[in-house]
Amino acid sequence: MLMTERGDEGAIVALLASAVPSIARCRLVGISESESGWRPHGPALLAISELASQIGGLDTSGGPMKVGTSAWGYALPLRSFGGIFGYAVVAAEEEPSSTDQLLLRLLAQQTGIALANARLHERERTATAELRSTNVALAETLGALELSTVIHARLTDVAAAGGDQSTIARAVHDLTSYPVAIEDRHGNLRAWAGPDPPPEPYPKAPPRVRSAMLRRAVKAGRPIREGDHLLVVASPQDDLLGVLALVDPSGTAGEREWTALEHGATVLAVELARLRAVAETELRMGRDLVDELLSSAEEERTLARAQGLGYDLLRPHRVVVVAIEDDRETEGFVHGVRRAALDLGVGSLLVARANSVVVISEADGDWDRMRHEIDRALGGRRCRIGVGGRCTRPSDFPRSYREARLALKVQTAAGNGTRSTEFDALGVIRILAESEELSGIERFVDLWLGALREYDEAHGAALLETLSRYLEQGGNYEATAHALSTHRNTVKYRLQRIRAISGLDLADADTRFNLQLATRALQTMNALSS
* DSSP assignment of 120-161: HHHHHHHHHHHHHHHHHHHHHHHHHHHHHHHHHHHHHHHHHT
Q: What is the pLDDT at residue 521?
A: 76
pLDDT digits (tens, 9 = 90+) for 430-470: 666 666 566 767 787 788 888 888 888 888 888 888 888 88
Q: What is the pLDDT at residue 230?
A: 92
What's the CATH superfamily of 165-279?
Answer: Dynein light chain 2a, cytoplasmic (3.30.450.30)
Q: What is the pLDDT at residue 286?
A: 27
Provide the CATH number for the domain formed by 433-529 in this structure: 1.10.10.2840
Provide the CATH number for the domain formed by 289-423 in this structure: 3.30.70.270
Q: What topology does CATH give the domain 2-123? A: Beta-Lactamase (3.30.450)
Among the listed residues 294, 324, 527, 316, the one whose alpha carbon sits nearest the alpha carbon of residue 402: 294
Its sign, for the CA torsion 243, 244, 249, 251, is: negative
Q: Is 372 exposed, middle or buried (0-12, 13-18, 19+ CB in 10 A)?
A: middle
Same fold, 2-123 and 289-423: no
Beta bridge partners of 233: 243
Q: What is the pLDDT at residue 282?
A: 28
Q: What is the pLDDT at residue 342?
A: 80
Q: What is the pLDDT at residue 432?
A: 65
Collect the ranges in the chain with pLDDT lower than 50: 279-287
- Contact criterion met (CB below 8 Å) for 251 and 225: yes
Among the listed residues 406, 366, 360, the one whose alpha carbon sits nearest the alpha carbon of residue 528: 406
Contacts 24+ apart (CB under 8 A), 487-495: 491/466, 494/461, 494/462, 494/463, 494/466, 495/466, 495/467, 495/470
Q: How far apart are the first and last CA of the chain?
A: 54
Q: What is the pLDDT at residue 529?
A: 64
Contacts 24+ apart (CB under 8 A), 173-177: 175/151, 175/256, 175/260, 176/246, 176/253, 176/256, 176/257, 176/260
Domain boundaries, the chain: 2-123, 165-279, 289-423, 433-529
What's this model's pTM, rounded to 2 decimal places?
0.38
Q: What is the pLDDT at residue 144?
A: 62
Q: What is the pLDDT at residue 490?
A: 87
pLDDT digits (tens, 9 = 90+) for 476-506: 888 888 878 888 888 888 888 888 888 888 8
